[in-house]
Structure 1
Amino acid sequence: MTRPTQIALLPDGKRLHLQDGPIDLIVEADGREADVRAAYRAAAQRFVGLLDELCEELARLRQAADPRQCRLRGAVARRMHAAVAPFAVDQFITPMAAVAGSVAEEILDAMRGAAKLDRAYVNNGGDIALHLASDAQFSVGVMDRPDRLGLLRTMVIEADDGIGGVATSGRHGRSFSLGIADAVTILAKSASQADAAATMIANAVDLPGHPSVMRCPANELQAESDLGARLVTREVGELSDADVAEALAAGADCAREALAAGLIDGAALCLRGRIVIVGALRLDRAPSRQLHGSALEQA
C-alpha cells in the first residue's frame, strides 16, 4: 500500500515537514506571520505530485546528460539537467546527480513566489536551498562524515554572499560515490548547482587502483542505479598521510576548475580528519555541542 504524502508542522510549530517516498524535506521561513503561512501553503501545494512528475521521466533522468540539449519536460527535471550540463561536456554525469538540490530549490522558489520572506530554507537530507534578504544570516554545521554525529566546523552565510545552495556528497552519503571522500561540502548560487558540483568533486577525491580501496559495480548493489556497471566505493582501508594528501589534492584541482568556471563559490573537502578549503569559504572552529542529523544542519 502506498503511503500518502505527509505534510505537517513539526512540534516546534515553526518548521514544515514534507515527505513523499524518498523525498523528505524540512522547511522553515522567517517573516510576517501571514507571509510565512502563505509560503508554507505554496510549498505544500507544489510538493504534492512532484515525485510523480519525476517518476514519469525517471528513465531519462538516469541516462547520461546531453550538454547540448535537454529532452526533459518537467520543471524539476529540466532544473536537474541544467545543473549537470556544464559537467557533462567532458565527464559522465546524469541529472540524478542534482535531484535533491533541485527539489529543494523548486519548493523554495514556490515559497518566494507566494510571499516576501526575510529568510527561508528547504533542507532535503542535507542539500539546502537558501534565501536570505537584507542582513539575514544562515549558519550550517559541516560534518566530516554524513553517517555519524559530530561537527567538524560551523559556517555562517551572509545575505551579501549571494549563496543560494549548500550541498554535501561523499562515500558515506545516501548515494553511491566513485571517490573516497568522507564528505565534500559545496556552496553555490543555487542548490541544484551545489548538488551537482558536490557529486563531481567528491568523485574526484580518489586514489585510482589503490589496494586499500574496495569497489564494486553500482548495479550489483542497486539494479537500476544510474551509474550502471561503474565501480563505486564500498570500503576504504588503511591510507598513509601521503595517500590522503594525494586524494584531497585531486579533489581540490577539480574544485578549483569549478570555481574558475563560476559553478561553485566555495568547497570544503574532508578525508580522514583532514580538510582542504577551496574558494572564499569561511569555517569557524568546531562548536562544543553536537547537532543531530544529516551532513549539513542548521546550527
Structure 2
Amino acid sequence: MSAQRRSLQEGRWHFQHGPIDMVLQCDGDAQACAFALEMAWQRFTQVLPELVSELPRLRMPVALLSVNDFHHPIALRMYQATQAAAVVTPDGFVTPMAAVAGSVAQEIVGCLAQPGVNRAYVNNGGDIALYLRDGMQWRVGVVSDLSMALQRMSDASSVSEQHILDGAFGVDAAQPVRGVATSGWQGRSFSLGIADSVTVLAATAAQADVAATLIANAVNLDDPRIQRRPADSLRDDTDLGARLVTVAVPPLGDRLAQQALELGLDCARGMQALGLIHAAYLCCQGQALVAEPLECWAG
C-alpha cells in the first residue's frame, strides 16, 4: 500500500503509510508552510521502506548493537535514544523499537522547520515532535487513562478536544522541550507495567518516546491478580520475545496504585538526573504523581 495524505480542518494534515499514522500542522507564512508540508510529505514517503530495511537490527537489544549497525537517520536516532536510556532499566534491556514513533515524528517535524514557519507539530499516534520559533508556544493535551481516551473518541463521530483531554500544558520556545510522549498498558504498544498513562516531556520526541515506555514499565506491582502473558504469544513479530506484558489489571485500591506509581517516579527522577527528560506525569487508577517541573491545568 502506498503512502496516503489528506487535508483536515484548521490547516492540519493526515499522513498514513502502513502502521505509521500521523497528524501534522504548521503555522506561519502561507507559502512557506505549503513548501514545508511538501518537504514533509516527500520525506514521509521514504520512512517506512527505510525502517523495514533496518527492522531485524531494530528489534535487537541495544546492548548488542552499535552506531555502525544502522544506515538511515531514523534508525540511528532510535538506537541513540534507547542506548542512552537503557541504564535506568533493571536489566539493561530495551530495543530501538521503543523509540520508533517519536523518532519518526522528530524526522518529519525537522522538514517543517523551514524559514517562514513559526511553529509546527507532528503527532505520530500520541508521540509528538514540536518546532517553535522564539516567542511561540503550543498547548499540549494530557489524558490520564489511554483506554478511556480511546473510548471517548470511538463513542462519537465528532468529539471535541475538551471531551477527550483530562488537562493540558503549554510548551514555549524558551523551554528545553521539543518532544512529548505518552505510554500505558492499554496503549498501542505492549507494556510491562500497569500505568494507565505516563506522559513525558523531553528535549526530543525520540527521548520522550523511550522514556515514557520505560517509566510506564516501572509503574508496576508483583500482584497475582494482574494478568500477564508472554509478548510473543500475543504478537509473533514483537521485539519483546517471551517477556511478560500486561493484559489485565483489576482495581487495586489507592495504596497499591500509589506504591506502583512511586516505583515509576523513581525511574523518572533517575532519567531527570541523567538529563534524559524534562518532566513526567504518571497516572494509575485515579492516582497521579509528577516528576517536576510540569505545570498542568484543567482542560
Determine if the TM-score, normalized by the shorter chain, exceeds 0.5. yes
Q: Distance in 2 between matches of 1:21 and 1:204?
A: 30
Partner of 1:103: 104
Partner of 2:139: 139
**Mapped contact 1:146–1:173 kept (Cα < 8 A):** yes
1:15 aligns with 2:12: yes
Partner of 1:63: 60
1:32-71 pair list within 5 angstroms = 32-66=29-63, 69-70=66-67, 71=69
Q: Distance in 1 between matches of 2:204 and 2:210?
A: 10
Q: Distance in 2 between matches of 1:117 and 1:217?
A: 46
Q: Which runs of 5+ in 2 are unaligned?
A: 153-163
1:209-288 pair list within 5 angstroms = 210-285=223-298, 287=299
Partner of 1:193, secondary structure, is helix
**Mapped contact 1:67–1:88 kept (Cα < 8 A):** no
1:73-112 pair list within 5 angstroms = 73-89=71-87, 91-112=92-113
Instruction: Name the Cα RMSD after superposition.
Output: 1.3
User: Once the 2 structures are TM-superposed, how far is the Cα of residue 131 of structure 1 from its aligned partner?
Assistant: 0.9
User: Once the 2 structures are TM-superposed, how far is the Cα of residue 69 of structure 1 from its aligned partner?
Assistant: 2.2
Q: Distance in 1 between matches of 2:30 and 2:166?
A: 35
1:280-299 pair list within 5 angstroms = 280-285=293-298, 287=299
**Mapped contact 1:207–1:247 kept (Cα < 8 A):** yes
Q: Distance in 2 between matches of 1:45 and 1:116?
A: 19
Partner of 1:120, secondary structure, is strand
Partner of 1:160, secondary structure, is coil
More helix by share: 2
Please, what TM-score do these two structures have when normalized by structure 2?
A: 0.91
Runs of 4+ in structure 1 deviating by more than 6 angstroms, as ranges, are none
1:109-168 superposed Cα distances (whole Å, 9 cap, x missing partner): 1221x4342110000011100011122111112111122234322111121112100000
Q: Distance in 2 between matches of 1:122 and 1:213?
A: 35
Letter in 1 for 2:211: A
**Mapped contact 2:254–2:287 kept (Cα < 8 A):** no
1:25-77 superposed Cα distances (whole Å, 9 cap, x missing partner): 11100111111011101100100121010001111101101387221111100
Of 133, 142, 151, which aligns to 2:165? 151
Q: Distance in 1 between matches of 2:6 and 2:166?
A: 31
Q: Which runs of 5+ in 1 are unaligned?
A: 288-299
Q: 1:280 to 1:13 in 2, by over 3 A?
A: closer
Partner of 2:117, secondary structure, is coil
Letter in 2 for 1:103: V
Please, what TM-score do these two structures have when normalized by structure 1?
A: 0.91
